[in-house]
A and B are shown apart, each in its own frame.
Chain A
Amino acid sequence: MKKEITFTLNKEKTIMEVDPQWTLLHLLREVLEMTGTKEGCGYGECGACTVIIDGEAVNSCLYPVMEVEGRSVMTIEGVALKDGSLDPIQQAFVDEGAVQCGFCIPGMIMSSKALLDKKDKPTEEEIKESIEGNLCRCTGYVKIVDAIKSVAGGR
């Protein structure tokens, strides 16, 4: 039986009819067709589906859609500015060569953005901690960490 939920999605008030057994990821990808958020495993083990809820990075594949009620969700689609210009963290990923196949990147950006929104100048340890749940097979993580550092230093 469908339920109505109201929440904020990328700064916009959103009202949706949802099935209680959906995950937030299902709502985003399959219903809203916001496919920037990826599913890499479905078990919270890879971080590709990371979104920010009320300021915290979470795995949307494990997040019951009913819990979204009243909360504020930010997805990768909400990170860049409306005019298409990139957020500094996105720009840093581009400029530092942190992107290869790119499948992990939306999750990486959401995880690091959750950190950077809280801390202007995080330590390297905090940077690594913020993305330790985001698997990447292409980059060896080096340039991803560099990209986050470059924003952390430049803010």
Chain B
Amino acid sequence: MGDLKVIGKRIPKKDAPLKTTGAAVYIQDMKVPGMLYGRILYSKYPHAKIVKIDTSKAEALPGVKVVLTGADVPNNFKFGFIKDNPPLKTGKVLSTRDEVAAVAAISPEIAEEALDLINIEYEELPGIFDPLEAMKEGAAMVHEEFKSNVLKMPWKFVAGDVEAAKKASAFIAEDTFSTQWVTHCCLGTSGCIASLDINNNLTMYSNTQIPSLAQNDFLEALKVFGFKNKRVRVIQCVIGGGFGSKLDTYAYEYIAILLALKARKPVKIVFSREDEFLATSPRQCTITKISQGCDKDGRLTFREMEMILDNGAYTSWGATTPSVMMVPISSLYKVPNIFYRAKCVYTNNTYSQAFRGYGNPQATFAIESNLDQLAEKAGIDPLEIRRINANEPGEVTPQNFKITSCGMKECIDEVVNRLDWKNKSGKHNGRGVGMASLIHVGGAARVYKSDGCGTIIKVDDNGKVDVITGSSEIGQGSETIISQIVAEVLGMSIDDINVINNDTDVCPWDVGAHASRTTFVAGNSALGAAQKIKTQIMEIAAKNLGESPEALEMKDGIIFSVKDKEKNISLGKVLRKVHYTLGGRMLVAEHFYDPPNENFDQNFKGNLSVAYAYGAHGVEVEVDKETGQVKILNYIAAHDVGKALNPMLLEGQIYGGGLMGIGYALGEKMIWDKGYLKNGTFLDYKMPTVQDAPPVQAVIVETDEQAGPFGAKGIGEPGLVPTAPAIANAIYDAVGVRIKDLPITPEKVLAALKEKEKGNP
């Protein structure tokens, strides 16, 4: 790859100056002339009949322009993954986040006051809040029109013969693990401004992670609302955190459109923090029954897992997380025989969605906790069982994943060395070490028909470059990474590269900021476009300099002959030459990169990703045996990233993911009590503060992924995948109790210690 000038450097984020001065404009900060403020009234009960809604008082309040209820939603419109969710509910409410009415007014305060004036008469119905209850024979149906509370989804994967492998196994460990509801806690809450022109074309100011798909969703909605052949433009403001929360379109967006249609004015809806906790879609809770076996040498023989996921009352992408849970289930370590089945179950709880890791953390918690149990049964060091079974380059996994680059063993070694594993493990003296590994998609993930991203590059008269990309900047730094890639190819400074990434009227299609795919896909797309524009530039320069293109190089905006540097021309001049000439042309290139990965077949086989990301986390903990509190003394997060295009931003992903995972492991939990959220505040939802952040070492392992842009793989999600089991394993090493239910609270640790003292396992 030669001598890299920009790639691999610790280059600050391009948008950081804007953000450090308060100049960045988030949806919260955005105003459109004449706009109204929308607010949504949520259901008082988790399950009830709506007997009567009286909006007359609200409508009479001065300053209120529109009040909507479910009756105002045209043509029975529903949205969501299987279109089971109306933006405003009629007849029945199925959860406490159900939208029952909405208001648009000239100020947020008046809108808020109007909500208090809406009278709704409910007839409360008994609800189902436990997926196990919902699965029982004779359970009431959450959606009466469906025959079962279990979603009709085909989540099953089988490879080899698990039953035979069980019989042949020397050791088997079996247990049940569970995880909790957790939420994204984006510091910037959800919001949008819906603005319609005189012809009912929609401009949506949004903080979505999926502009192209959102555009499509809104087009479809307009169609159902009776407005065919309209245009939808999605403009993204600066996004105050994503983490998967903005991977779908939501009721509030459709409500804003409906309010705007009726008011004939733009309508802004921005969530309060209470709304954000209540009405965004969290990571679902899961129950996992797992068993794994190995032969006498510790080689894994089979893995069997059955999972139950609380889908909540409606269906979003949360119901598809089993497709990614399958990644570690089929392919974390070499396991020849696999059985996996997952059921998503309707309840009257909030409904689940994507959240960084997309099901992988729940699955990996069970796999990696249970692997330690198996290692103990087999009398093998937890470290050794991981080494013995570690994935390797060239492997084809049971799901037909073709493993290209793989630094799993190197990651494990980093953890072992940096934790001083040999000296610290197995002491059971209140201090302990634990580890867990991960596999995740690292080269995109074909979950739609296309997994692509487009890039357009144009060079302006002054030799500056505009890169118009489909990808979204959600804080992760894609703008900077794309700039670096283009700068590297063109031999330019990243300051001369301007990335345009927030307007569907301008930007090419992209499937969205998810699946840790942006660096890989948008990066490859930008790389392709940059190479194409470079070819054009060189051809024109060659003509002007009387050289062949191969004899030229480009650096700092100057194209010169390698042999004779005096023979040169500036990029701006090249451009002016093609512009200011008869029969002139533009200097523009486009490239659409759609990775050569595969959709799953009906048996869930197929090379989902072009490359796979690996990592291992190791942690040393100290457990206070009197209080059950767990203190993390040292945390190592080693990740195989292919190639670090910008180590500084990459570490940021690892640190951020790591602490998010630590929160998941030790503290965070949405407390849903019979359908009511009990801790919807930052005070009571225990997202970690800086004082909770233990010392973390981010270790970058480079494996040079051939398919990646300059060798890179994705790193957005992996940081939180193995955190919880690593900590659970360390606690077991420290005090001999295994917590199988997240989060690992001091109560659970102390209760387990007491049971252990009594001699109960």
Contact = CB atoms under 8 A, between A and B. Distances in A.
Interface of A: 29, 33-43, 45-46, 48, 75-77, 79-80, 86, 90, 93-106, 109, 128-129, 131-145
Nearest to A145: B690
Contacts of A95: 12
Given A37-B22, A128-B691, A46 B272 contact: no
Contact of A143 (B25, B189, B652): B652
B658 A140 contact: yes
| Nearest 9 pairs of A and B residues by beta carbon | A36-B22, A101-B475, A102-B19, A140-B655, A140-B659, A103-B240, A76-B22, A35-B29, A45-B682
Interface string B527-555: 00000000000000000000000000000
Nearest to B11: A97
Contacts of A135: 185, 187, 682, 687, 689
A145 B655 CA distance: 12
A104 B12 CA distance: 18
A133 B652 CA distance: 20
Given A41-B273, A90-B20, A140 B696 contact: yes
B651 A143 contact: yes
A79 B20 CA distance: 9
A29 B22 CA distance: 11
18 contacts: A35-B25, A38-B28, A77-B21, A86-B17, A94-B13, A94-B16, A97-B648, A97-B651, A101-B187, A101-B475, A109-B20, A137-B185, A137-B186, A137-B660, A138-B241, A140-B652, A140-B659, A143-B655
A35 B26 CA distance: 9
Contacts of B689: 132-133, 135
A39 B656 contact: no
A24 to B, nearest CB: 15
A97 B10 CA distance: 8
A151 B527 CA distance: 36
B419 interface: no
A32 to B, nearest CB: 12
B24 A141 contact: no
Given A35-B25, A86-B17, 20 more contacts: A38-B240, A39-B28, A43-B273, A90-B20, A94-B16, A95-B12, A97-B10, A100-B476, A100-B477, A100-B652, A102-B475, A104-B187, A129-B691, A135-B687, A136-B187, A138-B187, A140-B655, A142-B655, A142-B696, A144-B690
A101 B242 CA distance: 8
A134 B240 contact: no
A42 B274 CA distance: 10
A97 B681 contact: no
A23 to B, nearest CB: 12
Contacts of A140: 652, 655-660, 693, 696
B24 to A, nearest CB: 6
A142 B475 CA distance: 16
A121 B6 CA distance: 34
Given A43-B273, A134-B690, A142-B655, A97 B187 contact: no
A45 B185 CA distance: 12
B23 A101 contact: no
Contacts of B651: 97, 142-143
Interface in B457-498: 474-477
B238 interface: yes
A99 B683 CA distance: 24
B413 interface: no
Contacts of A143: 648, 651-652, 655
Q: Main SS of chain A's interface residues?
A: loop
A100 B693 CA distance: 17
Contact of A35 (B12, B28, B474, B649): B28
Contacts of B21: 36, 76-77, 79-80, 86, 90
Given A102-B15, A128-B691, A141-B693, A38 B188 contact: yes
A76 B28 CA distance: 16
B682 A97 contact: no
B386 interface: no
Interface in B734-752: none
A137 B681 contact: no
Scoring B19, B687, B691 by chain A CB atoms within 10 A of each residue's CB, the highest score goes to B19
Contacts of A41: 273, 681-682
B187 A103 contact: yes
B20 A103 contact: no
A141 B692 CA distance: 10
Interface string B229-247: 0000000001111110000
Contact of B691 (A79, A132, A136): A132
Contacts of A129: 691
Interface in B555-609: none
B206 to A, nearest CB: 15
Contacts of A137: 184-187, 241, 243, 656, 660, 687
Contacts of A76: 21-22
B241 A42 contact: no
Contacts of A144: 690
Interface string B72-101: 000000000000000000000000000000
A93 B20 CA distance: 7
A102 B25 CA distance: 10
Given A135-B689, A143-B655, A105 B19 contact: yes
Contacts of B13: 94, 97, 99-100
B46 to A, nearest CB: 24
Nearest to A97: B648
Contacts of B272: 42
Contacts of A97: 10, 12-13, 648-649, 651-652
Contact of B682 (A33, A46, A80, A139): A46
